[in-house]
Amino acid sequence: MTGDVAVLGAGMHPWGKWGRSFVEYGTAAARTALADAGLDWRDVTSVVGADTVRGGYPGYVAGATFAKALGWQGARVTSVYAACASGAQAVSTARTQILAGLADVVLVVGADAAPKGFFRPAGGDRPDDPDWLRFRVLGATNPAYFGLYARRRMALHGDTLEDFARVKVKNAAAGTLNPNARYRKTVSAEEVAASAVVADPLRLLDICATSDGGAALVLTSMEFARRRGVRDPVRIRAVSTVTPTYPTTVPDLPDIATDSAAGAEPQGPGFRASIARAAYEEAGIGPEDLSLAEVYDLSTALELQWYEDLGLCDAGEGAKLLRDGATALGGRIPVNVSGGLASFGEAVPAQAIAQVCELTWQLRGAAGDRQVEGARVGVTANQGLFGHGSSVVAVR
């Protein structure tokens, strides 16, 4: 037995600001994924929902919400919350159920209707919540942290504003080729430079928007896929959901300070790199085996960081890799050929699932104009608030 599960179906609801309920986006994505798999909803033996917030109790109920919308049919149900890693946790849960023999056909769904503007914590006076505290005490929005990382890269590695803009130009160009993307217009470096500063040194076009959207996958056992006559499906080979290792030495959302290294020496490569390392180890591959990567470009500068954390290049070499064209479509290791969050925006519970959808289409050779030629191995990378790792390796 291998640890593989088959991806029989992938689907999305196009991302944007549609002003409708997350339930609508999720069920639309689910129906598309089921049709793609050639399966009926009643064939699904387990549904795993990546949660979103629906005001008040019971807010975090995505699995059952989608199951009800699709029509109660008695399937096993799970709901998971891990902030931006919710989608990866949902994939992980589905895969675990399949490998344990608890379910044969699992529908994974994530969808959200995001608020306009900055993400913010829930209301009330909650000084025991670190996410509430960083807004209350520092006014530190998510872009504030991205600004800190970007400025640090400039000081340490000599990255420039032009390098950051180049990431947006690359991802926007890819997004023009993706019918599910929210933004489908090319962006020039001049347009990035002319956009308003949000959190120095990052500008509006360096930072991803908040979006509505949905994504879904139909995962099955390899045996089920064979019985359905699918001999060579896209397979998920690894899912990394690791936590950081104490002490973390880089300030991370939503913390006000790092751990102290006074009582324990930092071990290993740092959190983001450890997420990738766990995925590679489980999949038995290395960065040299990759055909493409979908990474979490919350900001342009953060995409460069992921190049290094994924081992696509050495520390500090991210901007050079980009400048050399290696990470563009047609390059040695294309990154975010979907258009990335730069073109989609954030729909939190959907985005890690959407990354796997893109890998699926790429590994099938069905990505149209944005196809990475001969794609065989893909990785996703993402990180959930409060210490949730997220990386998926898919192969063909």
Where along the sequence are the contacts to another protein (CB under 8 A)?
Answer: 117-118, 120-121, 123, 125, 127, 130, 132-141, 143-144, 147-152, 155-156, 196-202, 246-247, 249-251, 255-264
Nearer to another protein, 28 or 253 (CB): 253
Residue type for position 246: Y
Nearer to another protein, 146 or 280 (CB): 146
Nearer to another protein, 194 or 197 (CB): 197
Q: Are the C-beta atoms of residues 119 and 140 closer than 8 Å to each other?
A: no
Paired tokens of 246: 């104490």
Question: Locate tokens 């949730």: which residue?
Answer: 388
From the CB of 248, what's the least distance to another protein, in Å?
Answer: 10
Q: Are the C-beta atoms of residues 284 and 395 closer than 8 Å to each other?
A: no
From the CB of 36, what's the least distance to another protein, in Å?
Answer: 38
From the CB of 274, what's the least distance to another protein, in Å?
Answer: 14
Nearer to another protein, 116 or 231 (CB): 116
From the CB of 275, what's the least distance to another protein, in Å?
Answer: 18
Nearer to another protein, 69 or 204 (CB): 204
**Dihedral over Cα of 280, 281, 285, 286: its sign:** positive
From the CB of 269, what's the least distance to another protein, in Å?
Answer: 18
| Cβ neighbours for 165, distance < 8 A, ≥ 6 positions apart | 189, 192, 193, 205, 206, 300
* Phi, psi angle pair for 102, to nearest 5°: -85, -20
d(C-alpha 136, C-alpha 146), whole Å: 18
From the CB of 96, what's the least distance to another protein, in Å?
Answer: 24
From the CB of 305, what's the least distance to another protein, in Å?
Answer: 13
Nearer to another protein, 72 or 246 (CB): 246
Q: Are the C-beta atoms of residues 21 and 80 closer than 8 Å to each other?
A: no
d(C-alpha 157, C-alpha 154), whole Å: 6
Nearer to another protein, 199 or 217 (CB): 199
| Cβ neighbours for 226, distance < 8 A, ≥ 6 positions apart | none
Give the rounded distance of the alpha carbon of 241 from its chain centre.
12
From the CB of 152, what's the least distance to another protein, in Å?
Answer: 4
Q: Are the C-beta atoms of residues 78 and 63 closer than 8 Å to each other?
A: yes
Nearer to another protein, 102 or 197 (CB): 197
Q: Are the C-beta atoms of residues 51 and 349 closer than 8 Å to each other?
A: yes
From the CB of 196, what's the least distance to another protein, in Å?
Answer: 7
Q: Annotate 302-315 with DSSP letters as a single string.
A: HHHHHHHHTTSS-T
Q: Are strands 76-80 and 46-50 parallel, antiparallel or unpaired?
A: parallel
From the CB of 343, what's the least distance to another protein, in Å?
Answer: 22
Q: Are the C-beta atoms of residues 10 and 220 closer than 8 Å to each other?
A: no
The helix (run of H) or strand (run of E) holding residue 278 is helix 271-283
CA distances, 270 to each of 94, 310, 387, 389 (Å):
28, 12, 12, 12
Nearer to another protein, 58 or 123 (CB): 123
Nearer to another protein, 74 or 127 (CB): 127
